[in-house]
Amino acid sequence: MENAVEGLLLACPAPRRRRLAEWAAGVALSVLAGLGPALRMLPTGDRGALACWVAGAVFIPALALLLGVVSGTHRLFQALYLPLWYLAVNGIAAADFMGVVRVAGRPAGPSPWLTAGSAAVTVGLALLVDAYREQPFPVRWRPRAPSAAAT
């Protein structure tokens, strides 16, 4: 290694572990931010709403991670998440991944399994995009030096 930086580079986590840690930190923040509603759901035994809450807590950071990796900035997530949240809060069941819209006391939006599965696929896509970007540039073609037999 040049400039004696191999000790620093060995201390850095691998790109996949770093991205998974970012996602886990986002899940922790989502759980912390939504802890109030979850604590209200526990005593009532509303398992459907709690499942939607858990799925939403893993989906939001997954979406943020993918959009951040693809765009390189947080702005794309901000631009897409706010309208999605607005639609869910205003009763559009198709956009409700958090279980806010209810019909006959049950969440009317997508299944929590679908939302959690989408989160897993989204995290996987973010890791794939990140791995693709980490690949070194292809070596440019260089003409071969003339061999001794050719001279």
The 10s digit of each residue's pLDDT in 42-63 is 888 878 888 888 999 999 999 9
- Look at residue 118 in the predicted model and tell me its pLDDT: 94
User: Residue 25 region, left (φ>0) first, then alpha (ψ -120 to 50), else beta?
Assistant: alpha
- Surface-to-core class of residue 22, CB atoms within 10 Å of its CB (0-12 exposed, 13-18 middle, 19+ buried): middle
Evaluate if residue 139 carries a pLDDT over 60.
no
Cα–Cα dist 107/44, whole Å: 15
Lowest-pLDDT choice from 68-72, 114-118, 134-138:
134-138
Evaluate if residue 23 carries a pLDDT over 70.
yes
Q: What is the pTM of this model?
A: 0.77
Cα–Cα distance list, 32 to 13, 38, 122 (Å)? 25, 10, 22
